[in-house]
């Protein structure tokens, strides 16, 4: 199953503007050739300028969504984004400890617009999710909030340190095992304001690769490539940080990337 149509479950919040969250996950997984399934943790009223309102979905409902999918369709990999609440984080981590699939955890704290998406109690509960994750994919501010590289790696997971929030014309994305750096991808910074959903997209693409059976370094490189192409193809919509162009990443599977 995984080699033909990887079944990827995304646990994340809904972005009504369609740029990030569950919507970005579905677009990414679909464009890469997978079957996207969802467990929605929060509903946001959101556009390119910010987040106007958030309703958190109950932990019971999040777990019901997960179990409904797993018990029938099955999953080849799991992607966790905005988790909604500390209670949901703890209960999802407990559930994940019982399953044997790759788990990508993107510790969402702040939207591209600057809006806060996780409170302090939820961020504290990220410890539980890092313990069960195969790989954690924070941006640089999120990594700092988690205590830095060593603080994440002590949980036994792999770590992607993304360079997008750094400075300079060149950027480097690095993949670490619990003990060493094992892969890095260098690239030129893309001069654009339209980057809404890049973190979600990268994590979903990484989960797809792992669900397809790729080794982590190969899946990491593919996820970087897909995300960069989607940034280049951003349609330039909205008055703020616009969404990237998932739907315009054509022939990606046939390109050999």
Residues annotated as catalytic (active site), given as ranges: 162, 195, 197-200
Given its phi and psi angles, is residue 111 left (phi above 0), alpha (psi -120 to 50 degrees) or beta?
A: beta
């Amino acid at each position: 199953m995984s080699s033909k149509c990887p079944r990827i479950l995304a646990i994340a919040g809904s972005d009504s503007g369609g740029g990030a969250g569950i919507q970005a996950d579905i677009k990414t997984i679909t464009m890469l050739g997978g079957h996207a399934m969802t467990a929605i943790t929060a509903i946001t009223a959101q556009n390119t300028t910010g987040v106007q309102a958030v309703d958190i979905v109950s932990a019971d409902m999040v777990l019901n969504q997960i179990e409904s999918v797993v018990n029938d369709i099955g999953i080849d990999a799991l992607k966790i984004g905005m988790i909604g609440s500390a209670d949901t984080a703890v209960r999802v981590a407990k559930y994940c400890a019982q399953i044997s699939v790759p788990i990508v955890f993107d510790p969402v704290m702040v939207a591209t617009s600057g809006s806060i998406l996780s409170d302090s109690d939820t961020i504290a509960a990220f410890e539980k999710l890092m313990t069960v994750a195969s790989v954690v994919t924070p941006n640089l501010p999120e990594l700092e909030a988690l205590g830095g590289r060593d603080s994440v790696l002590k949980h036994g997971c792999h770590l992607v340190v993304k360079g997008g929030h750094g400075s300079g014309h060149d950027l480097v994305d690095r993949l670490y095992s619990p003990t060493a750096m094992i892969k890095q991808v260098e690239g030129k910074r893309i001069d654009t304001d339209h980057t809404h959903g890049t973190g979600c997209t990268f994590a979903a693409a990484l989960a797809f690769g792992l669900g397809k059976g790729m080794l982590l370094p190969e899946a990491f490189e593919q996820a970087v490539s897909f995300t960069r192409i989607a940034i280049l193809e951003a349609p330039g919509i909205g008055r703020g940080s616009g969404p990237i162009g998932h739907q315009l990443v054509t022939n990606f599977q046939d390109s050999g990337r």
